[in-house]
Amino acid sequence: MATLGKKLVQQLKSKEFREYLMSTHFWGPVANWGIPIAAIADISKDPKYISGKMTIALCLYSAMFMRFAWKVQPQNMLLFACHFTNESAQLVQLSRFLNYNYLTKKEGKEEVK
């Protein structure tokens, strides 16, 4: 177990890892994590505020960039994880939007402008 810890520390101190931390391969996905975090935070909010068009756009966006992250060489698994999380959260939001606007009765619903 101690040797595993030493190997991990050596890897973290390596030049390759420092170069990775200073690349867009790392900081691009880190910056993108704001989108799925916001979507997850919005899951507990009232569905009357969900924009169907924006949710669909974000689903398509994440699907395209998941494929990009998988196909680019070297694969960017951090970007893939970010967009996989966002795709999942946006699909939950889309189901809430559809349920609220099309599958439930309109009684007691307020119109949002």
Over the stretch 75-87, which tens digit does the pLDDT of each residue have?
999 999 999 999 9
Length of the chain: 113
Of the candidates 39, 47, 57, which has an alpha carbon nearest to the alpha carbon of residue 95? Answer: 47
What pLDDT score was predicted for residue 110?
A: 65
Residue type, 105: K
Residue type, 98: L
Q: Is 46 left (phi over 0), alpha (psi -120 to 50) or beta?
A: beta
Q: Tell me: cis bond preceding 36? Omega within 30 of 0 counts.
A: no
Count of structural domains within the chain: 1
Q: Please tell me which residue, 44 or 113, carries the higher pLDDT value.
A: 44
- Domain containing residue 53: 1-111
* Highest-scoring range by mean pLDDT, 5-9, 27-31, 59-63: 59-63
What pLDDT score was predicted for residue 113?
A: 59
Q: By three-state DSSP, how is residue 24 classified?
A: helix
Instruction: Tell me: pLDDT of 108 over 70.
Output: no
Looking up tokens 């520390």 gives 9
Report d(CA 39, CA 80) in Å as an integer. 17
What pLDDT score was predicted for residue 21?
A: 85
Q: Please tell me which residue, 47 or 11, carries the higher pLDDT value.
A: 47
Report d(CA 107, CA 112) in Å as an integer. 14
Looking up tokens 């909010």 gives 45
